[in-house]
Structure 1
Amino acid sequence: MPGLTIGDTIPNLDVETTHGRFRIHDYINGGWAIIFSHPGDFTPVCTTELGKMAEYAEEFNKRGVKLLGLSCDDLQSHHDWIKDIEAFTPGCKVGYPIIADPTRELLKELNMVDPEEKDSSGAHLPSRALHIVSPDKKVKLSFLYPATTGRNMDEVLRVLESLQKSAARPVATPVNWKPGEPVVISPSVSDDDAHKLFPQGYQTADLPSKKGYLRFTNV
């Protein structure tokens, strides 16, 4: 069975978390969500990542995004670990729930298993996975990093803004795009419709083909 990927509906799993038990769809509740996994509690890279995710929580909140972490350790371990996370990243508060998955069953459902990393008993550990989920509960983007490489939260925020812009208008974001920079208008939009949809105007790149498909606008 293929793993969860872009376009799939996030499974409506019943999860036990540091904020109590709930179903994932109830937690998303018509908004955006970021679901991210970590290889283990009390591990160095994970500790830096969860602290940084907490530090960025307000930025995600401004964009209507809920955060949901996951690690294969139990709830008590999570609660104890949070103290270290908050101590390492001063001023941060881990206000988002973290799922406990000691049986490793949820990892498989969410396609967050690291095929190479195993614990001392030989059981697979979570990868450093992250899914961005839209209000319709579809996976819109997935990152899959090895345990040895920490993620870049600025990149998570950047791609989130790109996804939200594309969800709201027929636009896409070009290479190395950053929030505030021009976006490109979808080729499916005619020039006539582009003038109506983007009254602020747009610029068409002058290309050798003379095909006016590369149109930039600010939104």
Structure 2
Amino acid sequence: MSGPLAINTNAPDFTATTTHGPIRFHEWLGDSWGILFSHPKDFTPVCTTELGTVARLVPEFEKRNVKVIGLSVDPVDRHEAWAKDIEETQGAAVTYPMIGDPDLSVSKLYGMLPADAGETSDGRTAADNATVRNVYVIGPDKKIKLVLSYPMTAGRNFDEILRIVDSLQLSARHKVATPADWKPGQDVIIGTAVSDEEAKGIYPNGWHAVKPYLRYVPQPK
């Protein structure tokens, strides 16, 4: 097993059945950013809270032109039953699609299960699928921009995922990077690929250089 796909590699295209009907992944993404987040099995406690949290955050993702899609190693009919539990216990309806992966094909395609994991979710436990706990952020260019892998016992921090999306999109629009613990509105760092000469044209008001390679400027609008 080679593990999850690497940053800056192409996000593989696939066809799948979802709770919103059949999709071709790249076609479904269109020109949007995408978040694919996976789950080892339906009706698991931590994942139930995560899906509910994302359901509440859908307006925040939409503001950022991000489409969200879940994946679980179970058939779609079980997803639909699980969605009722999610709404009941988390107070939010799952309005985004959830991929059914009963033949494990998407999980294998994205490096979350080994090729010899078999061809059916039948008889597999959540522990068998423990590695199907990733978050992939995918850009409009269909390249993977971020990979996060979580254990089954630790719920994902979706406020952090929103923060990362903000950082990625800012870097895509401007030649900047974001420092540790950055929050939107705070100063950013001029990218190392930008020379001082080029930076003078972009930032005529100058910048604060702590070191020649560490140049802070206010966040571009």
Aligned length: 210
Question: In the TM superposition, what is the alpha-carbon distance from 1:112 to its structure 2 partner?
Answer: 2.4
Paired AA for residue 161 in structure 1: D
Q: List per-residue Cα deviations over 1:105-130 (Å, max 9, x = no partner).
A: 2101012239xxxx893574152101
- Tell whether the 8 Å contact from 2:19 to 2:97 is kept in structure 1 after alignment: yes
Paired AA for residue 215 in structure 1: R
What SS does structure 2 have at the residue aligned with 1:111? Answer: coil
In the alignment, does 2:179 pair up with 1:174?
A: yes
- Tell whether the 8 Å contact from 2:7 to 2:146 is kept in structure 1 after alignment: yes
Match in the other structure for 1:54:
55
- Tell whether the 8 Å contact from 2:134 to 2:149 is kept in structure 1 after alignment: yes
Paired AA for residue 149 in structure 2: L
- Tell whether the 8 Å contact from 1:170 to 1:185 is kept in structure 2 after alignment: yes
Check 1:75–1:217 CA distance in 2 against 1; reply closer, same or farther (3 A cut): same
What SS does structure 1 have at the residue aligned with 2:35? Answer: strand
Q: Alpha carbon RMSD of aligned pairs, Å?
A: 2.0
In the alignment, does 2:81 pair up with 1:80?
A: yes
Question: In the TM superposition, what is the alpha-carbon distance from 1:99 to its structure 2 partner?
Answer: 0.2
- Tell whether the 8 Å contact from 1:31 to 1:64 is kept in structure 2 after alignment: yes
- Tell whether the 8 Å contact from 1:11 to 1:109 is kept in structure 2 after alignment: yes
Gaps of 5+ in 1: 206-210
- Tell whether the 8 Å contact from 2:137 to 2:145 is kept in structure 1 after alignment: yes
Paired AA for residue 143 in structure 2: K
Match in the other structure for 1:121:
123
What SS does structure 1 have at the residue aligned with 2:13? Answer: coil
Paired AA for residue 143 in structure 1: L
Identity among equivalent pairs (%): 45
What SS does structure 1 have at the residue aligned with 2:156? Answer: coil
After TM superposition, which residue ranges in structure 1, 4 or more long, deviate above 4 angstroms? none
Q: What TM-score comes out, normalization by structure 1 length?
A: 0.89
